[in-house]
Structure 1
Amino acid sequence: MVATRTPRAPGALPLAAALLTATVALYITLVAFGNITDFGTNQQFVRHVLAMDTTFKDDDLMWRAITSTAWQDTAYIAIIVWETLAALVLLAATYLWIRSDHAHARRISTYGLLMVLLLFGAGFIGVGGEWFAMWQSKTWNGLDAATRVITLAGIVLVVIHLPFPAKAASSRTDSA
């Protein structure tokens, strides 16, 4: 008995990994660029979150507030530096995907995506959302946006770690 097996497209998953990595690279590049070129807008966001001035102002929590503009601006600059580095790493990973250097692309993509996940997960949701009670603010609350970024970056991280099929011949016959 001879069975003909239709091969899977060996390039589909690496292509998806490349395009998804490029999507996150584009996003975080635009975020960093926006924060650099329109410094004041998100500077105010960071200042209000750290100052906790639009939260419920619970006495049991307000000791956490950082009201020094120097420390607030230092935190904001650190965020921008982290975003810029993550963007550069993901852009490099995208280049590696395009060059079909899948092993290196997967590793570099992982580093960049973890940087994004740390910033938006640990930084914005953990530190901003819980420690500085950002969730209490109706005006300065970035939890929904952070959740969207974590979802996107997390999905991309899963996709790039799926096993890629071996390159198959255009047609293959198996004898049994």
Structure 2
Amino acid sequence: MSDKSSTNRIPHTGLPLAAATLTGIVALYIALVAFGNITDFGTNQEFVRHVLAMDTTFKDPDLMGRAITSQTWQDAAYLGIIAWETLAALVLIAATALWAQGMRRRDRLARARLVSTVGLLMLLLLFGAGFLAIGGEWFSMWQSKTWNGLEAATRNVTLAGIALLVVHLPGAAGRGISEGAEGGEAGEAS
């Protein structure tokens, strides 16, 4: 009792659920990171101060001109990081809620994908551009045995990157989930 359209149609895939789950995991993680930085302000404040001051690097004279030794500027950078993390967490929490709504109302999936993309790109910018590129290379964080956050930044870039890839797989937002369905049954309208 199957016709051509029912055998080629894949009515539901697990991709929206996978995208929702990964988005939720990243949202929880970055919310806890932001919360930790707010409630235990001093720990990572010291990290940011040492990275920007470049005081635990090889102290190559050709590079030390990059150091930021003003505690005012160091603390401003740290507050900016916390604000960015908090905003990213809120965006990803909203995206997770949209994915959950999309499980019942598929017209919400495209918006969930968009909001997830914004939040995940925020994290890629923070940890990829901010920590890996600027912290790691410009401020030579890789030279420090004590204040080296490259491994943690790489974990964050990897997690956000994988989540972003899953969010953008065909079918994650309800589009492209059927093949050969007739009469416009496939996918979702924007």
TM-score calculated relative to the size of structure 2: 0.84
Which blocks of at least 5 consecutive residues in structure 2 are unaligned? 103-107, 172-176, 182-190
For 1:48-63, what aligned pairs fall within 5 Å after superposition?
A: 48-63=50-65
Deviations 1:88-126 (A, max 9, x none): 000000000000010000000000000000000000001
Give yes or no for contact 2:11–2:178 (8 Å, CA) kept in 1. Answer: no
Structure having the higher strand fraction is 1
2:184 counterpart residue number: none
For 1:39-118, what aligned pairs fall within 5 Å after superposition?
A: 39-100=41-102, 101-118=108-125
Aligned-partner residue type, residue 44 of structure 1: E
CA distance in 2, matches of 1:16, 1:6: 22
1:123 counterpart residue number: 130
Query: What percent identity do the matched residue pairs reach?
Result: 70
Aligned-partner residue type, residue 66 of structure 2: R
1:173 counterpart residue number: none
1:172 counterpart residue number: none
1:148 counterpart residue number: 155
Give yes or no for contact 2:8–2:178 (8 Å, CA) kept in 1. Answer: no
Deviations 1:104-159 (A, max 9, x none): 00000000000000000000001100000000000000001100110110011011
Q: Which runs of 4+ in 1 moved over 3 A?
A: 4-9
- The alpha-carbon deviation at position 166 of structure 1 amounts to 3.7
2:165 counterpart residue number: 158
Per mean C-alpha deviation after superposition, the further-off stretch among 9-18 and 151-160 is 9-18
CA distance in 2, matches of 1:10, 1:21: 19
Q: Larger RCO: Structure 1 or Structure 2 (Cα < 8 Å, ≥ 6 residues apart)?
A: 1
2:144 counterpart residue number: 137
- Say whether residues 1:16 and 2:23 are aligned partners: no
2:185 counterpart residue number: none
Per mean C-alpha deviation after superposition, the further-off stretch among 132-141 and 157-166 is 157-166
Aligned-partner residue type, residue 133 of structure 1: S
- The alpha-carbon deviation at position 11 of structure 1 amounts to 3.9
CA distance in 2, matches of 1:105, 1:39: 32
**SS of alignment partner, residue 17 of structure 1:** helix
Aligned-partner residue type, residue 104 of structure 1: R
Which blocks of at least 5 consecutive residues in structure 1 are unaligned? 170-176
CA distance in 2, matches of 1:12, 1:132: 43
- The alpha-carbon deviation at position 160 of structure 1 amounts to 0.5
Aligned-partner residue type, residue 123 of structure 2: V
Task: Indicate the RMSD between aligned Cα atoms, in angstroms.
Answer: 2.1
TM-score calculated relative to the size of structure 1: 0.90
